[in-house]
Amino acid sequence: GENVEQHPSTLSVQEGDSAVIKCTYSDSASNYFPWYKQELGKRPQLIIDIRSNVGEKKDQRIAVTLNKTAKHFSLHITETQPEDSAVYFCAVLHMEYGNKLVFGAGTILRVKS
């Protein structure tokens, strides 16, 4: 069935350091990979997304890389700040299972100042 593995489940970094979160998926037909940030008690919000026709996308301190052959993609946050502390979810649009956006289990990121 649909499967999106997200690692690590928790990540603690020092302010200014980089953070990397990785997701793997099973459906080789998948072509859309967004990342969402959810602060405590708030709604998930899209922070960046990538489509299968590109390997990397950047937006200021955030970047996403995609390896379609290996079926994994990663979120990179550079120069982390305390306000980056949140739960981050990757998601995969599974074409094989009825065009559904399936979310990973989430990564709790703590940025220590």
Partner 1 sequence: DAGVIQSPRHEVTEMGQEVTLRCKPISGHDYLFWYRQTMMRGLELLIYFNNNVPIDDSGMPEDRFSAKMPNASFSTLKIQPSEPRDSAVYFCASSQGIDYGYTFGSGTRLTVV
Cα-Cα-Cα-Cα dihedral of 68, 101, 10, 79, to 10°? 70
According to CB under 8 A, which one of 14, 60, 99, 113 is a site residue for partner 1? Answer: 99
- Among 14, 83, 98, 113, interactor with partner 1 by CB under 8 A: 98
- Check binding of 113 to partner 1 (CB under 8 A): no
Q: Give yes or no for residue 93 binding partner 1 (CB under 8 A).
A: yes
Nearest approach in angstroms of CB 14 to partner 1 is 27
Residue from 3, 12, 28, 46 in contact with partner 1 (CB under 8 A): 46
The footprint of partner 1 (CB under 8 A) covers: 31-32, 34, 42-46, 49, 51, 89, 93, 98-106
